[in-house]
Amino acid sequence: MAGCSEFENTTMNPLHAFTVNGRTYQPPQRPVVGICLDGSADEYFDAALDRGRMPHLQKMAVHGFRGLARGQMPSFTNVNNASIVTGVPPAVHGIGGNYFYDPALDREVMTNGASFLRVPTIFPAAQRAGRRVAVVTAKDKLRDMFGSGLIPLGGIAFSSEKAAQVSRSVHGIGQVEALVGPAPAIYSGEASLYVLRAGVRFVEEGMADFLYLSTTDYMQHKHAPEDPAALDFYAGIDELLGRLVALGAVVGITADHGMNAKQRADGSPNVFYLESQLNEQFGPGFRVILPITDPYVVHHGALGSFAQVHLPPGQPELLTAVMDYIRALPGVTEALDQATAARLMELPPDRMGDVVVCSGRNVVIGRTPEYHDLKVLHEGLRSHGGRYEEMVPFVFSAPLKAEYAAQAQGDPRNFDLFDFLCNGTRA
Ligand SMILES: [Zn+2]
């Protein structure tokens, strides 16, 4: 590949491998950049490539690798980011949604802190192995998880959302805006471009050589792949991908989940209210948890294609009838009991309901009509969470070794990103 001679021709000491959560990583000496383009269904790449808006991605596809990987169910942000940074499924790392109900505490709990993660991320180990690690995310909600254990070792972790408020003690860097520019608004495409721009600046300045850049899906929630605003956004991403490759980095791209329109022909949200329907059909006491729920509801009104149903306390005998009822509802694709869902979706049973429900490509599951503020969705509803957002892009700037090329034809997972980057590319 052009632009990497500086690294290709250098003889380096044998590199320090490191092992985390049962997987060993042997990164190449050159900068390693893993990117999670939040909400990037492959259709976004196709639309931009078809129109010549992503020439650098096109080069990566030709000279490196472009395929698909299976993400983690439910196809939500925290679940998949947690998997990508740990290299293991939620059954191991513990985060099966943005949100879960804790029966012991009788509380609904947000899982956006490092304390919910049951295993370490790969980043402290990479830093200990001699890499300079930088982790940049758009929404501050993920920063704590990504930075866990990394900052005391000298790594960097911050969000574009709070780029104006970084400190050396908390984020490992005292000043971001002087390096990257003014912090952007969180509800913008710029919030994501800023993440990649920060990565470019860190590599340019030699401040980091092992990076994870995780964007936000505001643009994908608002815009279909062929919308001019989406095309401009992906062209902006492409320019920064080109700069990373030109700097000699080996770049790997995946996503946490895809994105689909979830509305009726008239543009209204195609939602059914599962908690209301269950309470009406079987009596009160059902609790439906929508693990897409987060503080940033402007994106999606807390409506996604996945739900956890808790039966009324003390009525386990309802299980079979409830599952039969849910399976017969129009728009439902799956209703699985807890043990089956935990096995098939590799989820942590202690943070699940009694029944897991998924809905179709253009259908979302609500709780009750009062629970959701549909007024925030004035521009239509695009969302995720189900099977139709499970497959995501898997792209590398360098060719894959034969063994990994074969693996990529099987069932690669988005949380194999750093395995492929470190062990699988001919970088
Ligand atoms: Zn996401």
278-300 pLDDT, tens digit each: 999 999 999 999 988 766 655 56
Query: Are the beta carbons of 267 and 362 closer than 8 angstroms?
Result: no
* Distance from residue 295's CA to the centre of ligand 1 (Å): 13
The Å distance, Cα 308 to ligand 1 centre, comes to 19
pLDDT value for 295: 60
Domain 5-258+390-424 has CATH 3.40.50.2000: no
DSSP string, 10-42: ---PPPPPEEETTEEE---SS-EEEEE-TT--H
Taking the centre of ligand 1 as the mean of its atom positions, its distance from the CA of residue 301, in whole angstroms, is: 14
Dist. CA 257 → ligand 1 center (Å):
6
State in Å: Cα 255 to ligand 1 middle. 8
The pLDDT, as a whole number, for residue 4 is 40
- Among all chains, which residue has been given the structure tokens 């509800």? 187
Q: Which of 417, 384, 381, 421 is nearest to 401 (CA)?
A: 421
Backbone angles phi, psi at 110, to 5 degrees: -80, 140
What does the pLDDT read at residue 379? 76
Pairing of the two strands 332-337 and 355-359: antiparallel
8 A C-beta contact, residue 298 and residue 259: no
Distance of CA 4 from the midpoint of ligand 1 (Å): 32
pLDDT for the residue 422: 98
Q: Which stretches of the chain drop beneath a pLDDT of 70? A: 1-15, 294-300
Q: How far is the CA of 293 from the centre of ligand 1 (A)?
A: 12
Q: 14 preceded by cis ω (within 30°)?
A: no
For residues 62 and 11, give the distance between their C-alpha atoms in angstroms, rounded to a whole number.
Answer: 27
- Residue 404 CA to ligand 1 center (angstroms) comes to 26
Distance 77 CA to ligand 1 centre (A): 4
Per-residue pLDDT, 245: 98
| 271-383: CATH number | 3.30.1360.110
At residue 333, the pLDDT reads: 97
Backbone angles phi, psi at 115, to 5 degrees: -65, -20
Domain boundaries, the chain: 5-258+390-424, 271-383
Ligand 1 midpoint to CA 44 (Å): 14
- Phi, psi (rounded to 5 degrees) for 310: -100, 125
CA of 364 to the centre of ligand 1 (A): 16
Q: How far is the CA of 362 from the centre of ligand 1 (A)?
A: 17
Measured CA to CA, the distance from residue 217 to residue 186 in angstroms comes to 10
Distance 36 CA to ligand 1 centre (A): 9
Full-model pTM: 0.94
Chain segment 329-348, per-residue pLDDT in tens: 999 999 999 999 999 999 99
How far apart are the CA of 397 and the centre of ligand 1, in A?
23
**How many angstroms is it from 306 CA to the middle of ligand 1?**
14
Neighbours of 287 (CB within 10 A): 19
Distance in Å, CA 2 to ligand 1 centroid: 32
Q: Which two tokens stand for residue 143?
A: 């920063």
- In this prediction, residue 388 carries a pLDDT of 98
Distance 7 CA to ligand 1 centre (A): 33
Distance 245 CA to ligand 1 centre (A): 25
In the Cβ-directed half-sphere of 276, how many Cα atoms lie within 13 Å? 11
Tell me how far the alpha carbon of residue 220 lies from the centroid of ligand 1, in angstroms: 9
